[in-house]
Amino acid sequence: MNSIRMFRSARGIDDIDAAEGDAPLFTTNTGRAYSPSYLSQFLTKVIKESGLSFLKFRSSSVGPHNFRRAFAIISHLIGVNVYQIMKSLGHEQLSTIEIYLQKVFEKERHAIHLWKSDVFGEYIIEESRPI
């Protein structure tokens, strides 16, 4: 919030608390709202230039859409209903959320999640026992 306030102050626009309800949060130096595509490109560029260590292991860039996907995945993992996730992200169809969650669903359906420790324990070879 402090960074947003400093940005707005540097641009000579009202503080967030004093701004009109429909006023843009960020403005260009001419006072117009940034376009969503500009902000998306800018954020992707800033993340790339950040030098965060996990970025070197990625084959694609990280941008705002990754945050939407992460929101959907984390929400699902903590038990939020898929319909609620869909509405929170402003989607009209569940199929969009299912695309976000496809890999999570595949992992959840993996057979290992059905294993019971009292069943498989006797089949794991202890290091001290000869084979």
Which percentage of the chain shows pLDDT scores above 70? Answer: 91
What is residue 77's predicted lDDT score, i.e. its pLDDT? 95
**pLDDT of residue 119 exceeding 80:** no
Domain map (residue ranges) of the chain: 53-131
> Which among 5, 58, 99 has a CA at the least distance from the CA of 85?
99
Which percentage of the chain shows pLDDT scores above 90? Answer: 34
**pLDDT of residue 1 exceeding 60:** yes
What is residue 75's predicted lDDT score, i.e. its pLDDT? 96
Residues 6+ apart with CB under 8 A from 62: 44, 47, 48, 55
Are 118 and 112 within 8 A, CB to CB?
Answer: no
**pLDDT of residue 127 exceeding 70:** no
Could you list the beta-strand ranges (E) of the chain: none
Give residue-wise pLDDT tens across range 37-88. Answer: 888 898 899 899 998 898 888 888 898 889 999 999 999 999 999 999 999 9
Are 63 and 44 within 8 A, CB to CB?
Answer: yes
Helix/strand/coil percentages in the chain, nearest 5: 60, 0, 40
**pLDDT of residue 128 exceeding 60:** no
> CA 15, CA 18: separation in Å to the nearest integer?
5
